[in-house]
């Protein structure tokens, strides 16, 4: 506080004070300032500065009052100034002392401002990868280990890539299953567009771009006009696989799938395949795995029917097959020189099986209580 501010640098006459009654307001103002200063002295160094401001021998506020107000005061004022000064001094000294004691013992007010290093810090929640992402990664790692690489493709496709080039002509009945979401396009658009119904179009896009040998997997989202229930969703996930080379046999195919299934479910499972049909593979198969929950017996540990395979001992996994030679015709590969296999794995289904999830909808609801179970 400057002398100017607290008026203690000037004799009382200069302040226009001539009568004892006029002193009260002056001292009350000083006391108010002292109290405000006192509240700011929260540690030893600020307390010392505060003490010197008020009690400093030469230029402390009280010394100035003595020098500038008391000593030159007129006889009428002297008594009153002396009395008020004594009262103020008593207040100042006792408050300065109790502030010192408070700082020393670290009571309330000062504790509030101290840093307590033992308090826990601010915890910022870190997100984790969604279970579907984790399963993608698991499967990708398995295929990386045997020489496959990952490619990515568009979720909006043309009917050519989604159907025709996969040997599914316009009025082929399998299109019924994939009757899906078309985009509203302006009149005169060169081609209709739809949300891809499977990751298989990437077989075509990959072979268009690269000559054999091809060994790729394609993780991604696909869309179908399915009504949501515990096992269906209009958006879900697949991993496509494609291997094409000059000498790939059906044995390479089943061996690769068996390797993958054992890596994913554990070495004790068995695989089998059954004949199936897809327009872009010939022959086509459906792969099954022996039920990992009842060790392929169909009977639960409790003695009842296994609830996972419903007593069948086998669980249907995914479709696959040897690439149909007709498909090579769409990508300028010579079907007499190359052969290969393809597969399309439903990721949601595999994740549900492996992690015991009975409703596909939980993958899309983003309920953190579910997500936290798979950190
Ligand atoms: N695209 C098929 C579907 O979504 C799955 C599929 C089956 C993919 C056999 C393949 C395959 O590559 O060979 O139903």
pLDDT at position 150 is 97
Q: What is the pLDDT of residue 56?
A: 93
| Cα–Cα distance measured from residue 148 to residue 341, given in angstroms and rounded to the nearest whole number | 13
Mean pLDDT for 6-30 is 88
Q: Return the higher-pLDDT residue of 94 and 177.
A: 94
344 Cβ closer than 6 Å to some ligand 1 atom: yes
Q: Quickly state the pLDDT bin for 39 (edges 50, 70, 90).
A: confident
Is the predicted pLDDT of residue 218 greater than 60, yes or no? yes
Tens of pLDDT along 250-305?
Answer: 999 999 999 999 999 999 999 999 999 999 999 999 999 999 889 899 998 889 99
Q: What is the pLDDT of residues 125-144, one digit of tens each?
A: 888 899 999 999 999 999 99
CB of residue 240 inside a 6 A radius of ligand 1 = yes
Establish whether residue 271 lines the binding site of ligand 1, counting it when its CB lies within 6 angstroms of any ligand atom.
no
pLDDT band at 153, cuts 50/70/90? very high
Measured by CA distance, the residue closest to atom 2 of ligand 1 is 344
Q: How far does the centroid of ligand 1 lie from the alpha carbon of residue 17, in Å?
A: 102
Strand partners of residue 320: 285, 343
Of 200, 223, 280, the one to substitute when testing ligand 1's pocket (max ligand atoms within 8 A of C-beta) is: 200
pLDDT band at 44 (very low <50, low <70, confident <90, very high): confident
Q: Determine how many CB atoms are found less than 10 A away from the CB of residue 333.
A: 21
What is the dihedral angle through the alpha carbons of 36, 40, 45, 51, rounded to the nearest 10 degrees?
10
Among 217, 218, 243, 320, name the best residue to mutate to test ligand 1's pocket (greatest count of ligand atoms within 8 A of Cβ). Answer: 320
Q: What is the pLDDT of residues 298-321, one digit of tens each?
A: 998 889 999 888 999 999 999 999
Band (50; pLDDT cuts 50, 70, 90): very high
Mean pLDDT on 50-56: 94
Rounded percentage of the chain residues whose pLDDT exceeds 70:
96
| C-alpha distances in Å from residue 279, one per residue of 51, 163, 171, 322, 347 | 94, 10, 13, 11, 22
Contacts of 16 (CB under 8 A, 6+ apart): none
pTM over 0.75: no
Average confidence score pLDDT of the chain: 91
- Reported as a single tens digit per residue, the pLDDT across 325-345 is 999 999 999 999 999 999 999
Ligand 1 center to 343 CA (angstroms): 6
CA dist list (Å): 223 to 195, 241, 296, 319, 372: 6, 18, 32, 17, 26
- Say if residue 355's pLDDT is above 50: yes
The mean per-residue pLDDT over the stretch 170-179 comes to 86
At 201-214, the pLDDT tens digits run 999 999 999 999 99
For residue 242, which atom of ligand 1 is closest to its CA? 12
């Amino acid at each position: 506080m400057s002398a100017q501010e607290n008026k203690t640098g000037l004799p009382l006459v200069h302040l226009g004070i001539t009568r004892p009654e006029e002193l009260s307001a002056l001292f009350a103002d000083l006391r108010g300032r002292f109290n405000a200063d006192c509240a700011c002295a929260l540690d030893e160094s600020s307390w010392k500065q505060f003490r010197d401001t008020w009690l400093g021998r030469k230029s402390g506020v009280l010394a100035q009052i003595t020098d500038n107000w008391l000593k030159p005061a007129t006889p009428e004022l002297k008594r009153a100034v002396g009395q008020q000064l004594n009262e103020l001094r008593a207040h100042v000294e006792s408050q300065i002392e109790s502030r010192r004691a408070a700082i020393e013992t670290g009571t309330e007010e000062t504790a509030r401002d101290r840093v307590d290093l033992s308090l826990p810090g601010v915890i910022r929640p870190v997100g984790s990868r969604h279970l579907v992402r984790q399963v993608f990664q698991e499967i990708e790692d398995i295929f990386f280990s045997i020489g496959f690489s990952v490619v990515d493709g568009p979720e909006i496709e043309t009917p050519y890539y989604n159907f025709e080039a996969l040997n599914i002509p316009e009025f082929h009945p399998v299109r019924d299953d994939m009757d899906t979401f078309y985009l509203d396009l302006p009149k005169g658009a060169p081609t209709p567009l739809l949300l891809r119904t499977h990751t298989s179009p990437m077989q075509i896009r990959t072979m268009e771009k690269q000559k054999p040998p091809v060994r790729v997997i394609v993780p991604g989202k696909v869309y179908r006009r399915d009504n949501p229930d515990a096992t269906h969703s209009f958006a879900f996930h697949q991993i496509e696989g494609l291997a094409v080379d000059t000498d790939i046999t059906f044995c390479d195919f089943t061996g690769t799938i068996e390797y993958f299934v054992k890596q994913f479910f554990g070495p004790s499972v068995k695989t089998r395949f059954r004949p199936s049909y897809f327009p872009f593979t010939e022959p086509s198969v459906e792969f099954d795995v022996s039920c990992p929950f009842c060790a392929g017996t169909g009977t639960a540990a409790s003695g009842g029917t296994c609830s996972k395979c419903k007593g069948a001992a086998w669980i249907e996994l995914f479709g696959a097959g040897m690439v149909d030679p007709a498909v090579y015709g769409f990508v300028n590969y010579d079907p007499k020189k190359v052969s290969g296999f393809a597969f399309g794995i439903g990721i949601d289904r595999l994740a549900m099986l492996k992690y015991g999830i009975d409703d596909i909808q939980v993958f899309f609801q983003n309920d953190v209580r579910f997500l936290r179970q798979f950190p």
